[in-house]
Amino acid sequence: QDLSGSITTPDVKLNLGGEFIKESTATTFLRQRGYGWLLEVEDDDPEDNKPLLEELDIDLKDIYYKIRCVLMPMPSLGFNRQVVRDNPDFWGPLAVVLFFSMISLYGQFKVVSWIITIWIFGSLTIFLLARVLGGEVAYGQVLGVIGYSLLPLIVIAPVLLVVGSFEVVSTLIKLFGVFWAAYSAASLLVGEEFKTKKPLLIYPIFLLYIYFLSLYTGV
């Protein structure tokens, strides 16, 4: 008999989702032997392609709005200031605390760790006191409000450098900064549930910012 044949690649096609894809002999051989998994390619997960800020849950617009709410605490300005308390975040207050630490250095790097420690444990003290007084507030909310409310002390810092030689003016500016910071924090943390007990929470908040200021001035 006259035998004839061909060694061309067999025309093997796979039906994948309604589309026919031509395969090579090697691919067909691996699939027939049960090693087709070696040829599989994983699709890129869209979750892995998120921007860094979104991956770290950092919303710059939200942080900027909260900064404005703290620096301008007057209700007449129309800001929804409760967002600072009701929607707490970590990175914004941390950035404010670290910035306050940097301007407080005066060559003494130990003050940075002191300020962060006072922020964490001072907020914990305010949180425990608020809960004892019957306030419905979470530790994360207190941490965020206390951190953001350091902004008034950051604002008066360059002014103190200019008027530092005038003791009376410098003292008045320090008191203004502390009252500004304490008012911003207290107006967010002290709710109607405290009723007649408000001074019991406002006073330690005021003392906390006095201590922050003393760390800045080097006392």
Report yes or no on whether pTM surpasses 0.75: no
Per-domain boundaries in the chain: 55-67+78-215
Q: How many residues does the chain have?
A: 219
10-residue stretch averages of pLDDT, the chain, 219 residues long: 53 47 61 63 57 70 83 76 79 84 68 83 90 83 89 86 80 90 85 71 88 74
Cβ atoms of 39 and 30 within 8 Å: the answer is yes
Cβ atoms of 102 and 150 within 8 Å: the answer is no
pLDDT of residue 121: 92
Distance of CA 53 to the CA centre of its chain: 10
For residue 93, the tally of other CB atoms under 10 A from its CB is: 24
Cβ atoms of 92 and 171 within 8 Å: the answer is no
The encoded tokens of residue 39 equal: 């040829």
H or E element that contains 22: strand 19-23
pLDDT of residue 124: 92
Cα separation, 161 vs 152, in Å, equals 15
